[in-house]
């Protein structure tokens, strides 16, 4: 058995505000996020399969992550359901892509949301191994399947 890990990097822009936070991140602000998704499994070993030798076609991996994560989060504003968001609804031209989430939208919680959106949506021959979300160039949160 030869397990292989395959990773793909994604980028998206997103804003958020941390409700009831005691620092500057309580204000609406944005980040250029970098997301690295790694899956693990055994490459296809079937000469009749056009994907022979691949764990997953990078295009397929891209399409899964783009559809379930990037398309949803890119240029969105994330805010906790605990915040008073009533005034945002009066300016829909600025908050058209507001996502009210059931958590405090920290890098850690956004990462867990992404993991939950992805983990059961890959072909059965592979599983989600690692997800790494950079909120800035030097700050990130990381999830490992082996820890959970």
State the catalytic residues.
Answer: 25, 75, 135
Core vs surface per residue 2-40: b (16+ CB within 10 A) or e: eeeebebebebebbbbbeeeeeeeeeeeebebbbebbbb
CA dihedral of residues 141, 118, 77, 35 (deg, nearest 10): 40
Does residue 6 sit in helix, strand or coil? Answer: strand
Does residue 99 sit in helix, strand or coil? Answer: strand
């Amino acid at each position: 058995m030869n397990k292989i890990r395959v990773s793909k990097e994604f980028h998206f822009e997103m804003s958020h505000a941390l409700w009831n936070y005691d620092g500057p991140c309580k204000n609406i602000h944005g980040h250029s996020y970098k997301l690295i998704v790694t899956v693990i499994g055994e490459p296809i070993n079937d000469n009749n399969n056009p994907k022979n030798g691949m764990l997953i076609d990078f295009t397929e991996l891209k399409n899964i992550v783009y559809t379930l994560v990037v398309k949803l989060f890119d240029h969105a504003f994330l805010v906790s359901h605990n915040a008073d968001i009533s005034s945002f609804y009066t300016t829909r031209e600025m908050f058209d892509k507001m996502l009210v989430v059931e958590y405090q939208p920290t890098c850690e919680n956004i990462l867990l949301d992404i993991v939950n959106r992805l983990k059961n949506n890959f072909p059965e021959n592979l599983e989600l191994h690692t997800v790494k979300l950079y909120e800035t160039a030097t700050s990130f949160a990381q999830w490992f399947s082996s820890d959970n």
